[in-house]
Structures are given as C-alpha cells and as structure tokens.
Structure 1
C-alpha cells in the first residue's frame, strides 16, 4: 500500500541508507563516516535499513530513502539501489525509494535509472556533486537526467557546505565548489519537467537557493542537514512568505534525527500555518502522493 499522507505526521525527504544488509562497510566511506560523526557530534554506528524503517515507523513519519553513489568520485562502493528499492517495496506504506547513480556512468547509468523506475518502483533520485566530483550540469549526466525527466520524477541535489570530508586532510579530496546551488540552475532550465530539490539551506550560498526557488517553478528546497535553530534568518523569512509552498522537511538522518529537527522547527520562527506545509503538504505535491 503506497504512502497515505493522511496517516503520517510528516514526510522526511532526506534520509540516508549507509549500511548494506549484505556487504561490509566500505573502508573508504568509513573514513568519511568517522569525520562526519565527529562534525555532527553523532553516533558513529550507522543504522541498517531495517533499523531505519523501524525507527521511522515508530515516529509515524514517511520518508525518502537513498544512498549516494560516489564510486568514481572517491572510490567507495555504494549501497545497492536495488537493495534499497526491494526493502522499500516491503514497507511501501512508509518508505519512498530514491536511487543515486554516479553521473559519470552516463548512458550506462541511464539504463540503470530506467530499470529502477520501470521495474523497481523508484520514485526519485539523489545527486551529490561534491562527493561525486562532478559539476551538476556536466553533460555526462544528461542521459540520466533525460530518463528522470521522461518520468517527471524529482531529483535531490546536495548544495552548500558538506559535513562529508569536513576535518579530513584536504577535505578528504572533495571539492566544495560543486555544492554551489547556482551550478544546478542550468539543470533546472534544461529539464523543466523535472522537479529539482536543493538539499540543505545551501550555506554559504543560501541566497542563491532562495533566488532559484523563487525564479523557477520546478525548484524546491529541503531544509535538511541543519537544526532549524541555526537557519539563516532569510530562510525563515522566505519560508513564511514567498516560498511557503517551496520548502520541504528533511532531516539528514542518521546524522540528524527527525524528532529533534521537528522540535527545533517549532521554536525557529515559522508561522503556525506554514509548518504543516513544510512538514508534509509540500512534499505530498512534489512527490506526487496526492
């Protein structure tokens, strides 16, 4: 049974699957997990996908679940998109499966995207230019985007600073420049039927994200990766006014727990009538759950 929005209290559009049920933790990714855990002051132990599902079911929060395919960028083996999709299918009343495909896989990646959509029920895709070491508008990724746009599915693009690599020697070799939101503007223009979700408040380029969401009907912002108590004031300002239908709740679990995010959001200055839009209603529309 697909997610019934009336039966959940919120929809979290930004949840990571970082531990495979079949494969051991990748040693390259382990170093990034060590650094990210220290940066976020979070538990180093990563939950399994079944543990994540059980946690969100207990919270009565539906969620989008994905890995990050950065096999070319940093040489770390990804958690399988197929594993995520198959587990999500067993819990489709609360899990919305997203996939991640390294943009450098190009046409071969486009084949995987089509298979995941047509045969495994994947509902969206996640890209992380910093970890994938790829400009979001690099034409190598366009065959993948073309498939996603054909099915009018949403994409989530990492923007802003990255906790992944923070504190590591040379930032773990990853480049923050690929997190600049304006780099995604070409993608939003070239694929107007593809909903583009800019993940995180986008610091230090927050205003770029706000401008893009204001300018383009297919651009949205998820507010994951930060506690709302630390949001730049302009995020709250625009969420309460011109962008109240463009902001989505995302936590960045397991590094940030949704219950803590939602509690902080109650005190962050969002208008009472805006919070339900952020928590659930906007995601219902963007994800096509209505």
Structure 2
C-alpha cells in the first residue's frame, strides 16, 4: 500500500486563481439562503476549511505551475474557457491538457458549435457538466443533454460530470447517481467520468461502475482522507482501472494538503500508478 512518491500525477481537476473573482456568480444568483448570497466567497464554503485564498493573481498560470512542481503534479487538465487556460495550454502544452468549456444544455446548438470549434482549435480532450448549476436545472438524463453526449461520442472525448449532492445550496435532484444508468444505456460508447464523489450514493455508484465499461470515477473536491471507503475498496478489488485522481486546486483545496494526505489512502501498490496517471492517460487519450 506504500505511496509511490516518484510516480507521475495527472490532475484532472485543476485551475487558476483569477483576479476579480466572479466565477461563482452563476451559483450565487440562484441560491436563496443568506449565507450563500451575502457571506460566502465560495458557494460551498461551509464544507471547506482551507481554501487557498491568498494566491497572487498577477500571473495565474505561473502560480499554478509552481504549485504543481512543488507537489509532484506532472500534468493538469484546465478549461480553455478562460484566458489563463488558453494561455496555459498554448505556452505549456507538455504540462496542461485542454478541457472544453462547460456545456450549456440551455444553448444546445451554441454548445455543439463551441465543442467542435474548441476541438479543432485547442484539441480539447474532454468537456464538463454541472447539472445542479444550470438554471433552470437540467438533469443528467434530460433530453437537452443527449445531443451533447452524442457529440462527445462523435469527437471521441469524455464528459466529466458532477454527480451526487452538490456542495452549493441548490437542489440535488438533477445529479442523482441513478440518472447515469439512463445515459450509459442510451450511449454505450460515451466515456462518462463522475466528479465530486457521488455521495451519499457511493454504493450505487460502485454498482454502476461495475455495470458500465465506459463509466469512471474521479476524486475531485475530496481531500484524500475523505475519499469514500466504497470507492477505495472498489479500486482495490475490481475497479483499479476505473478510478482517476482529481484535486480541487485552487477552488477548494490546497495541493499541500492533498499531497500530505494522499499517502494515507489505503490503495494497494498496483492501484497507485493507475489511479495517479495511467487511467487518465487512457481516458484522455494522451498517448494517442
């Protein structure tokens, strides 16, 4: 179970601290409780105690690179929806993998055009979905999502989708884990990677991971000591090829904390390289 300190690490959820903020306005606009609207600088602030707030914002790409170098992150997947993300993948293509802009099921044709444009221009390796963050909300298995899934299959890229109870104080129904079953049934060639844990339905998620060959789990937004035990057990038995490392820097977790806690995760020795980088290489087709 020893942690391989010299192993490459591919982080499938990393980003940049931008000047001015405002990246969470789309969540704040739809919350109703006073804390979310008036006090929180981060929509799930009540859940996270060590959000890295004091990062310099004059050169976000260099800041993230320094953190990656300090904590053994070889490659990070970053969104090309921001200027920093576009600059990162252009100037450091060996360190950053392009993630497409978040999909918008309220603008289906615009989203499909943007996916194809970003695939051609940046070579995006995936797109992302936050069902509970859409407004009005659109469920994972809603008809509006189906053209997006079909385009992922057409382009040969996975979708990384938030599932389970969301941290921000918005309704959870659009992200219920059972909805994934409909998606995988209708799109057996779609590669679907879950984000943000799937709690409290992690046992159901393990059943679906067993059932569907193209369904994967990433550990985003969870400090390593809080990885669901059902997922650790699954990785150590039949699921070593299905679990991907993802952090949450700088959105909610510091890489320092993640690096300190990772060695304590009870993965078997043969699971670690798959979890840290090999599974991400396969899903994102980095060796193609």
Q: Structure 2 length normalisation: TM-score?
A: 0.81
Equivalent residue runs for 1:202-221 within 5 Å: 202-221=198-217
Q: How far is 1:267 from its partner?
A: 1.4
Q: 1:282 to 1:24 in 2, by over 3 A?
A: closer
Q: Is the 8 A contact 2:78 2:98 kept in 1?
A: yes
Counterparts in 2 of 1:193 and 1:52: CA distance versus 1, 3 Å: same
Tell me the residue number matched to 1:12.
11
SS in 1 for 2:14: strand
> Is 2:96 the counterpart of 1:92?
no
How far does residue 222 in structure 1 lie from its aligned partner after superposition?
0.4
Match of 1:63 among 68, 73, 76: 76
Q: Distance in 2 between matches of 1:15 and 1:285?
A: 19
1:24 & 1:229 partners in 2: Cα distance? 29
State which of 52, 62, 79 in structure 2 corresponds to 1:43: 52
Cα distance in structure 2, aligned partners of 1:276 and 1:239: 12
* 1:258 CA displacement: 3.6
Ranges of 4+ aligned residues in structure 1 off by more than 6 Å: none
Name the one with the larger helix percent.
1
Aligned residues: 262
Shift of 1:259: 4.3
Alignment-derived partner of residue 150 in structure 1? 154
* C-alpha displacement of 1:55: 2.2
Residues 261 and 201 of structure 1: CA distance in aligned 2, closer, same or farther (over 3 Å): same
Contact 1:85/1:122 (CA < 8 Å) preserved in 2?
no
* Ranges in structure 2 where 5+ consecutive residues have no aligned partner: 1-5, 29-36
Shift of the 155–82 alpha-carbon distance from structure 1 to 2, 3 Å rule, reads: farther
Deviation at 1:25, TM superposition (A): 2.7
Deviations 1:219-266 (A, max 9, x none): 000012212222332221111011011011111222123443243232
Pair 1:253 & 2:249 matched: yes
User: Could you tell me which residue of structure 1 aligns to residue 281 of structure 2?
Assistant: 284
Q: Contact 2:195–2:217 (CA<8 Å) still a contact in 1?
A: yes
Paired with 1:24 and 1:199, the residues of 2 have a C-alpha distance of 23
Secondary structure (helix, strand or coil) at the match of 1:185 reads helix
Q: Which residues of structure 1 form unaligned runs of 5+?
A: 1-6, 68-79, 166-170
Which residue, 232, 235, 243 being the options, matches 1:236?
232
- Match in the other structure for 1:266: 263
